[in-house]
Amino acid sequence: MSDIVLETKDLGISFGGLHAVQNLNLKIRKRQLYGLVGPNGAGKTTVFNMLTGVYAPTTGSFYLEGEELTGKKQEIINHKGIARTFQNIRLFNNMSVIRNVMVGLHNQPEFKCNPFTSMFRLPGYYKSEKKMRERAKEILRIFNLEDERNNLSCNLPYGKQRKLEIARALATNPKLLLLDEPAAGMNPHETEDLMNIIRYIRDNFDMTILLIEHDMKFVSGLCDEVTVLNFGTMLAQGTPAEALNDPEVIKAYIGG
């Protein structure tokens, strides 16, 4: 039981009369790569928004390693260990690449430094700043972005921006990483590269990853388990091969 990282119980949200997500039950185990798929408008990103505190669920609850986080604020949920990326990239565009990652490191207890220490540059400032920079470089190295670290993040090509967003989320030291369409807009070569990076993160950081993706080759090549959503309800759950060949799922995608 203890190796379950995220558990949702009958999680649901409705906006007025629209039931965007209903009765979602997920159980994600440690070091699992979990896929969330479904046609457009199925409510996948809404699930992410609930899990990160952007929306408060109207029904049900969810637990991170047994601790209930339903309805908590976004920053609290992030402190507890859920980090995410966004479907439409949301980087800090006017900041350099390394500073983007350093913003992610902001809440790590090891880099604690109160505003007055930094205002008057007391010794603690230099120590924590140096450690943060080193740590950010290490993270960027994983994503092969170390050479770009002093460029403005808005000047990076699309694929690298996606990677940077993952790097930034990883910097918050999460227990569960939510990736919203990480491979969108990438060419096959970049997608391949990204798959390797995601595996690398899982292996080296003992990370559990929940991802939304439309690229079925990506999902079936990477994920251990998937859940298919349609109109806010679960259609199928299981290994990619099982779930994606479910007749209901094929019907939802192709119509019929």
Partner 1 sequence: MGNLKTKRSSFKLHHHINWIIAAVALVLVVILSFADALGRSDVSLLNRVAYSIILAVSLNLVVGFLGELSLGHAGFMCVGAYIGCYIANYLNSVIDSPVLVLIITMFVGGLVAAFFGFIIGLPALRLKGDYLAIATLAFGEIVRNIFKNLPYFGGAKGLIVNKIFSSTKPTLLIISFIVVLITLVVTQNLIRSKHGRAITAIRDNEIAAKAMGINVTYYKLFVFVFAAFFAGVAGVLYGHQTTPVMYSFFSYNYSIEILVMVVLGGMGNITGSILAATLITYVNFVLQNELTGNLAALKLLIYAIILIVVVLFNNAPVFRPIKEKLNFRRIFERKHSPERIKDDAAAWDRVPTKIQMDELLSVDVTPTNYEPDKSSKDGGDD
Tokens representing 169 are: 């989320």
CB of 148 to partner 1, least distance (A): 10
231 counts as binding partner 1 under rule CB under 8 A = no
Residue 28 backbone zone (phi > 0: left; psi -120 to 50: alpha; other: beta): beta
Question: In the complex, what is the shortest distance from the CB of residue 229 to partner 1, in angstroms, rounded to a whole number?
Answer: 10
- Window contacting partner 1 (CB under 8 A); options: 25-33, 164-172, 188-196, 201-209: 164-172
d(CA 225, CA 210): 10
Site for partner 1 contains 62 (CB under 8 A): no
Q: Give the amino acid at 220.
A: S
Name residues contacting partner 1, limited to 81-110 (CB under 8 A).
83-84, 86-88, 90-96, 99, 102-107
Place of tokens 């690398």: 200
Q: What x/- string results for residues 19 through 48 when contact with partner 1 is judged by CB under 8 A?
A: ---------------------xxxxxxx-x
Nearest to 197 by CA among 125, 245, 144: 144
Select the residue interacting with partner 1 from 67, 68, 75, 138 (CB under 8 A): 75
Q: Which is nearer to partner 1, 23 or 96 (CB)?
A: 96
Instruction: Give the Cα separation of 46 and 181 in Å (integer).
Output: 13
Q: How many residues bind partner 1 (CB under 8 A)?
A: 53
Plot region of 37 (φ>0 → left; ψ -120 to 50 → alpha; else → beta): beta
Stretch that binds partner 1, among 6-14, 61-69, 72-80, 193-201 (CB under 8 A): 72-80
Residue with smaller CB distance to partner 1, 60 or 81: 81
Residue 69, SS3? Answer: coil
Type of residue found at 88: N
